[in-house]
Structure 1
């Protein structure tokens, strides 16, 4: 399982929605990508707990509302100097740390300073769980991902099976390419799957007879999408392939513990496969309950 890169902005969005985070200083680190899922929580006595104290993504000061011991604040600032967190969380009612000094430190060091009225230990534990879900819950999948009318369709198949050509047909029909050949899929805390292109091949696709092209430059920005949901899997097979099981009803594909409908298509042409995928997605969007794959001169299995 590969690491999923998570932006500080996405973490702050979660914090605002769930923990009442308020950004007090948006330093340069607000544009950072988090690659560590560790959260360092420091209590009033200066003790810290973390899985990886050498490189915490988030530093939390869990002070005492009553105590105003300046020593605990000094200990916290020493911890802050010893590490380079992207985000620092504190509770304004904890009098042991100076709000002014925290803001000055944020401006100087470039980290994002966040305040919360929630219990800092609770906030730290929720942030840690969120980071683990996002950063550690990801996989890299071979295949092509297309946003078809708002539904993310994963198209898989062997080399030369027509994945890219099928995606191209869908693009001609007004849908958007997300990733060609390799995609990164992650599961968010609500157990929804999102997919995006591997950074090395973002906007790139291979067109048979032409080679690798930049889809954004060739077809325009409306022909591509940064990411999409992941809602269904289509496995492409040659119409001569008799090994695939027959039947129109979808099977189930498991990705990161989430079940997705999986359709096996024995195709005659990639154009017909593209039209069939489009119609199936439209049927599902209309909630007709008809999940059978349209024919279009191709065989289904």
Structure 2
């Protein structure tokens, strides 16, 4: 179990991690507004299956997401999804075109992005989930 949020586009999910108040739920909501589906908010179960990290919501919070200043909202949620990307909101990206980074979850190496302070971050993550990054295979 990790303190994170997770949304997916199709069968590709991003795990959004960061400390309390870092904007995990806000980023997840912004991505949901662009067509992503909720997997889990605040707490995410991670398991490994066939070389992939699978994210699932704990039963108590399945289909719920916090909207600060609004309340706990209901959402159509996926039961689970494979994580293909990790977004770390504790660190801010300073490079315009950052070199690929990775992190390891449950023995699986996954691409890692840092927070981008700009209105394009949520749409960029949605597009990443749709099609990946140009240099992912390099």
Q: TM-score range by the shorter chain?
A: 0.7 to 0.9
Higher strand share: 2
Q: Secondary structure at the match of 1:166?
A: helix
Residue 84 of structure 2 is matched in structure 1 by 231
Say if 1:283 and 1:290, in contact at 8 Å, map to a contact too.
Answer: no
Residue 124 of structure 2 is matched in structure 1 by 276
Q: Secondary structure at the match of 1:276?
A: helix
Say if 1:148 and 1:281, in contact at 8 Å, map to a contact too.
Answer: yes
Q: Secondary structure at the match of 2:125?
A: helix
Say if 1:237 and 1:266, in contact at 8 Å, map to a contact too.
Answer: no
Q: TM-score, normalised by structure 2?
A: 0.85
Higher helix share: 1
Distance 1:195 1:226 in 2: 9
Q: Establish whether residue 252 from structure 1 lines up as the match of residue 123 from structure 2.
A: no
What do residues 149-186 of structure 1 show as CA deviations (whole Å, max 9, x unaligned)? 32111011222222111111111111100000100010
- Which runs of 5 or more residues in structure 1 are unaligned? 1-139, 217-223, 292-301
Q: Establish whether residue 261 from structure 1 lines up as the match of residue 111 from structure 2.
A: yes
Q: Establish whether residue 143 from structure 1 lines up as the match of residue 11 from structure 2.
A: no
Distance 2:60 2:108 in 1: 26
Q: Secondary structure at the match of 2:116?
A: strand
Residue 134 of structure 2 is matched in structure 1 by 289
Label 1:237 to 1:193 Cα distance change in 2 as closer, same or farther (>3 A): closer
Residue 166 of structure 1 is matched in structure 2 by 27
- Return the offset for 1:263: 0.7
Q: RMSD in angstroms over aligned alpha carbons? A: 2.1
Q: Secondary structure at the match of 1:143?
A: strand
Higher relative contact order (CA 8 A, sep 6+): 2
Q: TM-score, normalised by structure 1?
A: 0.41
Residue 102 of structure 1 is matched in structure 2 by none
What do residues 176-234 of structure 1 show as CA deviations (whole Å, max 9, x unaligned)? 0000010001012x222211001221111100211212223xxxxxxx21110111101
- Which runs of 5 or more residues in structure 2 are unaligned? none
